[in-house]
Homo-oligomer: A and B are copies of this chain.
Amino acid sequence: MDPLSATFAALADPTRRAILGRLADGEATVTELAEPFDMTTQAVSKHLRVLEEAGLITRGRRAQWRPSRLREDALDDATDWLEHHRAAFRQRFDALDREIAALRKDEENDRGKH
Using CB atoms and an 8 Å cutoff, list the residues of chain A in contact with chain B.
2, 4-6, 8-9, 11-14, 17, 20-21, 24-26, 70, 72, 74-76, 78-79, 81-83, 85-86, 88-89, 91-93
25 contacts between A and B (CB under 8 A): A2-B14, A4-B14, A5-B12, A6-B12, A8-B11, A9-B12, A11-B12, A12-B12, A21-B88, A24-B85, A24-B88, A24-B91, A24-B92, A25-B92, A26-B92, A70-B89, A70-B92, A74-B86, A74-B89, A75-B85, A75-B86, A78-B82, A79-B79, A79-B82, A79-B86
Knowing that A11-B12, A79-B82 touch, tell me 8 more A-B residue pairs with CB under 8 angstroms: A5-B13, A24-B88, A24-B91, A24-B92, A70-B89, A72-B89, A78-B82, A82-B82
Chain B residues contacting A74 (CB-CB under 8 Å) are 86, 89
Copies of the polypeptide in the assembly: 2
Shortest distance from the beta carbon of A24 to any chain B beta carbon, whole Å: 5
CB <8 Å contact, A8 and B12:
yes
Chain B residues contacting A75 (CB-CB under 8 Å) are 82, 85-86, 89
